[in-house]
Amino acid sequence: MKKNVLKKGFIGLTAMFLLGACGADSAGKGSTEKSKESSSSSSTEVTSGASATEYTDPSELKDSYDIIIVGGGGAGMAAALSAKEEGMDPVILEKLPVAGGNTMKSSGGMNASETKFQKEQGIDDSNDLFFEDTLKGGKGTNDKELLRYLVDNSSPAIDWLDSMDITLDNISYSGGASVKRIHRPHDGSAVGAYLVDGLVRNIHEKEIPLFVNTEVTKIVKENDQVTGVEVEVDGKSKTISGDAVVITTGGFGSNKEMIEKYRPELKGYVSTTSEGSTGDGIRMVEEVGGAVVDMEQIQVHPTVVQDTGMLISETVRGEGGILVNQQGERFYNELETRDNVSKAITALPESYAYLIFDGALADRAKQVDFYKDQGVVIEGKTIEDLAKEIDMTPETLKETVDTWNKAVKDQSDTAFDRTTAMDYDLTTGPYYAIKIAPGIHHTMGGVKINTKTQVLGEDSSEVKGLYAAGEVTGGIHGQNRIGGNAVADIIVFGRQAGTQSAEFAAAAKK
């Protein structure tokens, strides 16, 4: 496949995926049934983006492969590429009409420590500091072995991506991080579409079959070992055998029944997740004896546009944006962990807030261009003009911004003890505001795995031949996921799943 054709198709789908939560359910509560309906309709609507020729033709689906990867998001593609590097014959099966999944919706970046890009830019970081920041963010409940593997393998993962011309060298702050650690594309744009585009390009260059509109409905297990999957494609059911199966189907943020089952108080919350995030993989793994952990740990992101479910990247706050209430006053440390910022917004009388930033920040954070295109950014020539546009007292908002600018100059936020992302003041017009409130963003619970990504049962014994990676798994993030760790999770553990499943498959052939 020619690279230019592939790239054009995937960039053309960026907007659709970034607004996909709204498509899944305007109230953020898409059920499994609704997702199926949406997936079906999407397959006929996607005519100007990725065409059928950009994916493997359904007629080419074979009866067996070395490794079957269920889910075509970032973790699945990372697993496939790693398995291919090990000499295996992997296949990717994706239920939606396009690849990318929830990865496409990621607007921030990838956390990594001790990277070559940090060193080049004079950023002093360490794996131990990354570990401690994440453990603190997760309230000490993270699976420490999984977390240790994540941080220790984050820098090699950045190098691995860079070796495939997926370069994340623009580094900034993210909530819960002590130093600049979140790695973004060179121009500072959203990581999701860039990452998916690069991974798919490499999938095609390495001739790895990637099937879409191919829904896995069951994991097949015989004689105490996973031997394949059952799929539905072109209206027909088929059993495909494999020496190993890797589950990378994502979380359950768009399955309202599962959300309400584990967290009834989140009923009615808007969701930012992909329409494919319906918990299918978790269900199938449980059916073959896999255990789950932390299912009640569901992350709410503080900055979500409520009528569309569009997430406003933490990058905006990481580049110096502030949050104000309807009275035009700051009310919390904007770069605290997501759970705490969300609680602070929900506790406001109006239960919403405004994200305030200036023209210079908009130039640095390229995601803002997309937000403008989608009509969610309110603009004012001066800060007083902006205040009038959002029904605030101009003098109050002006005083708030002036106080913040002085805090940046003095490097001392006496109001809320913010210590990170204070590199830039807000002094360059025009000025902007985005109205936000919390929304469901990430399900931190899921399938129980070990550092080899082997799926484990309730007794911690491995389910032979079955591996899992990405948001479908649980335990890594504890009670709160640090911004930037989702992409780190899918790449680090996606690679490991590909490597370990390949090792298992190779042993099975002997």
Catalytic (active site) residue 481: no
For a pLDDT cut of 90, what percent of the chain falls above it?
83
- CATH code for the structural domain at 302-440: 3.90.700.10
The whole-model pTM stands at 0.82
Q: Give pLDDT, residue 377.
A: 98
Q: Give pLDDT, residue 333.
A: 97
Residue 234 in tokens: 């072109």
Which one of 181, 201, 317, 338 is the catalytic residue? 338
Q: Give pLDDT, residue 44.
A: 28
* Ranges in the chain, pLDDT < 50: 1-53
Q: Give pLDDT, residue 28.
A: 30
Give the CA radius of gyration of the chain. 22
CATH fold of the domain at 54-297+444-509: FAD/NAD(P)-binding domain (3.50.50)
pLDDT in tens, 302-352: 999 999 889 998 889 999 999 999 999 999 999 998 899 999 999 999 999
Q: Give pLDDT, residue 127.
A: 98
Compute CA 278 distance to the chain's CA centroid, rounded to the nearest angstrom.
15
In whole angstroms, give the CA distance from residue 385 to residue 369. 21
Where in the sequence of the chain do the CATH 3.90.700.10 domains occur? Answer: 302-440
In whole angstroms, give the CA distance from residue 115 to residue 101. 27
Where in the sequence of the chain do the CATH 3.50.50.60 domains occur? Answer: 54-297+444-509
CA separation (Å) from 120 to 157, 190, 484? 17, 22, 20
Contact in structure between 60 and 11 (CB atoms under 8 Å): no
